[in-house]
Amino acid sequence: MHRFFLPQNCITQSSVVVAGKLAHRLRNVLRLGTGDRIIILDNSGWEYEVELRAMSGGKLEGAIISRAPAAGEPQTRITLYQALLKGSNFELVLQKCTEIGVTGFVPMVCERCVAGETVGNRLGRWQSIILEAAQQSRRGKLPVLHNVVQFREACESATGVSLLPWEEEKVRGIGAALEGLPKTENTPEVSIFVGPEGGFSPHEVDFARSCGIEPVSLGSRILRAETAGLVAAAVTLYEFGEMGGGSQA
């Protein structure tokens, strides 16, 4: 069944009203009509099975058949602080990390960033990439896309256990760094910092350390900047038993 996020003010106790672009897409692109069923997500963690009923003007009305907590939302809250990347690589990170289960993205400008001047007009596109990936991967809440920040500001705003994958860190892995956080904690919070193509500068790593952000290794191979966040997020979720077979599963 197709899945769509809908603003909460379009959802009542027993029905939903779909208007605008989504109504157009349901009717004219997906060719759905009276009697067809879809899943509506309210972005607060609930999903509704809806049967389409009436159509009038540009609007579609649907009856709520059942409601259930959306199963795709991880308990672990991961914010990925990702340095801006060249070409479409930042988009790839948003798409893949939404699928994996990241709950927030903070685009960062770092010393060695070669991308970054034209971010303003890309935010809308980034938001729609997140929306599509969240619908496709059965998330119950949309990951939050924050404004672009400078690296130092990002370090100062990090919450929870904060990790910085760094290729020069040879010993400490994510599992060890997470040990301080009780795995029984219901909604653990983890911030992950990933550098640009050229990596973090030594100054940046020192500054991050001074903010309590701990360098961690992702193994002895050098991963591309667009790969590292995805791997770090997957390993973190695995550590919390949220990848189907981790230590808590």
Q: What residues line the site for ligand SAH (CB under 6 A)? A: 165-167, 194-195, 198-200, 217-219, 221-223, 225, 228
Q: Which is nearer to ligand SAH, 43 or 201 (CB)?
A: 201
Minimum CB separation from ligand SAH for residue 82, in Å?
Answer: 9
Q: Which is nearer to ligand SAH, 18 or 89 (CB)?
A: 89
Minimum CB separation from ligand SAH for residue 235, in Å?
Answer: 11
Check: CB of residue 140 under 8 Å from CB of residue 118: no
Antiparallel, parallel or unpaired: β 104-109 and 149-150: parallel
Task: Write the CB contacts of 140 (distance below 8 Å, at least 6 apart in sequence).
Answer: 41, 43, 45, 46, 47, 69, 70, 71, 72, 73
Minimum CB separation from ligand SAH for residue 172, in Å?
Answer: 10
Q: 59 - beta bridge partners?
A: 56
Minimum CB separation from ligand SAH for residue 167, in Å?
Answer: 4
Q: Which is nearer to ligand SAH, 15 or 227 (CB)?
A: 227
How large is the greatest C-alpha to C-alpha distance in the chain, in angstroms? 63
Closest CA to 226 of 137, 95, 129: 95
Q: Which is nearer to ligand SAH, 37 or 172 (CB)?
A: 172
Where does residue 198 fall: left (phi above 0), alpha (psi -120 to 50 degrees), or beta otherwise? alpha
Q: Which is nearer to ligand SAH, 36 or 167 (CB)?
A: 167
Check: CB of residue 166 under 8 Å from CB of residue 178: no
Minimum CB separation from ligand SAH for residue 228, in Å?
Answer: 3
Say how far apart CA 126 and CA 120 lie, in whole Å: 11
Minimum CB separation from ligand SAH for residue 46, in Å?
Answer: 36
Q: Which is nearer to ligand SAH, 226 or 242 (CB)?
A: 226
